[in-house]
Amino acid sequence: MSRKWWFTLAAMLVTAALYRNRLRAYLEQVSANVRDFDLPSAGAYDALVATVLEGFYARVAGEVAAAHPGGNLLEIGSGPGRLAARLAREAPGVTLTGVDISDAMVERAARRAAGAGLSERVRFEVGDVAALPLSDEEFDGAVSTLSLHHWSDPASGLAEIHRVLKPGGEARIYDLAHWLWLPARGGDRLAGLAAASPFGDGEVKIFRWPGSVPAFVVLRLRRDPMA
């Protein structure tokens, strides 16, 4: 066997090994991103994660629409706008503002609202929950889905939500159940956050989806009507 053939074979084996390692690393990263509900682009998130969660958004929209058939609502971590569009269709009496830290998500959500003919009632802004670009006592209610576990400062986030809610306004924050969210293990972290916030307390309940799987929880907070 010629020396040239051996060199070609060796080069092929090295290339295959490098490609395999890079492919494994890429797949591991994608898997981790999906577990964290985070993908490298707004389009990928919308196509993969948000699509799978349509049933979840339907359940949430039904609950929020029943509690707030009208008024001015805020969505924290609005992502590609799927929940906002569904909620606006289910509750024609509401106006909705979505806030997301990602410019790409805000652009995608705005296009979705425009395509559905909802731009007059649904708008989106870039912003951080820890410093919302919104006025005091502006909203009758607030909702957030699968965003809390990404907040860098949950205490500031809850304080900001309290600030922008009208007296008597309610916030519903849906997130991963404790057995899926590692930082929440070993104690009722959500109840502790609520107690330490300007709300003073809150109700944590299991949210079962898909089917009867207790994969999520909802933290319900209400601003004191006399505040």
> Which ranges constitute the DSSP H helices of the chain?
3-35, 42-45, 51-52, 54-67, 82-90, 103-115, 154-164, 189-196
Tokens (6 digits) for 198 = 């300007």
- The span from the CA of 97 to the CA of 94, in Å, is 10
What CA–CA distances, in Å, run from 211 to 16, 29, 56?
A: 43, 29, 10
Interatomic CA distance for residues 124 and 103, integer angstroms: 10
139-145 vs 203-207, strand pairing mode: unpaired
Structure tokens at 164: 């922008």
What is the spatial distance between Cα 42 and Cα 52, in angstroms, rounded to a whole number? 15
Closest CA to 45 of 30, 27, 24: 30
* φ and ψ at residue 30, rounded to 5 degrees: -60, -45
Per-residue pLDDT tens for 126-161? 999 999 999 999 999 999 999 998 898 999 999 999
What is the domain partition of the chain in residue ranges? 3-35, 50-222
The answer to whether the Cα torsion of 72, 78, 84, 85 is positive or negative is positive
pTM of the entire predicted model: 0.79
CATH of range 50-222; options 3.30.1370.100, 3.40.50.150, 3.40.50.740, 3.40.50.970: 3.40.50.150
Note the pLDDT tens digit of each residue in 18-57: 445 553 553 344 344 444 444 456 777 776 666 788 999 9
Confidence band for 3, pLDDT divided at 50, 70 and 90:
low
